[in-house]
Amino acid sequence: MSMRRIVLALVAIVAFAITGKAQSNSDRLSLGVGCLYQNGLDLTLSYEHEGKYHHAWEFFANGYIKWAECASCKHICPESFWKNYRSYGFGVAYKPCVVRGRNHYGNVRIGASAGSDTRRFLGGIHLGYEHNYVLRGGWQLFCQVKTDLMIKGEDLFRTGIVLGVKLPLN
């Protein structure tokens, strides 16, 4: 084997090792907005730390609004939208990767949260699937199918779709 081939092989191995590690231990800030059944609007701000093979931990703050038809005007007015039922929570979710592709990957999302609906304590168990599309510069778009089991909440089950963006922090 010539010296040139050995050098080329070493350069290829180093380049592969550097690019293969680029997705490991990365941090992201994400914002997701979605509609949940029945008459719910969901907003989630989260910090995500991704480990090896796209497995990730997510620390999130979540706000939820459930709107209703106004009793006096029979429409959805600002009063019946913003002041009907509101809740918030803070939690953590583990997201093991189950699907990998060239510019996309999918995670199962398993988590728990604690919060309030301004009257009483709420607990939540969160299950779902999140599919991520990687863009240039480390940005990501995601689509999440989520189901929340809310303990002591007005809605026992919340299910729906959330769309969002993830911004790289490092």
CA 62 to CA 43: how far, in whole Å?
Answer: 6
Tens-place pLDDT, residues 63-114: 999 888 777 777 777 776 777 888 999 999 999 999 998 889 999 999 999 9
The average confidence (pLDDT) of the chain is 86
CA 150 to CA 53: how far, in whole Å?
Answer: 31
The residue with greater pLDDT, 161 or 118, is 161
Residue tagged 């009793």 (tokens): 71
Tens-place pLDDT, residues 100-130: 988 899 999 999 999 998 889 999 999 999 9
The domains located in the chain, with CATH, are 27-168 (2.40.160.20)
Structure tokens at 156: 């026992």
Q: What is the pLDDT of residue 153?
A: 80
Among residues 129, 43, 137, the alpha carbon closest in space to that of 89 is found at 43
Among residues 6, 45, 5, 43, the alpha carbon closest in space to that of 160 is found at 43
Cis, bond preceding 140 (omega within 30 deg of 0): no
Give the largest Cα separation in the chain, rounded. 86
Residues 6+ positions from 153 with CB-CB distance below 8 Å: 87, 117, 122, 124
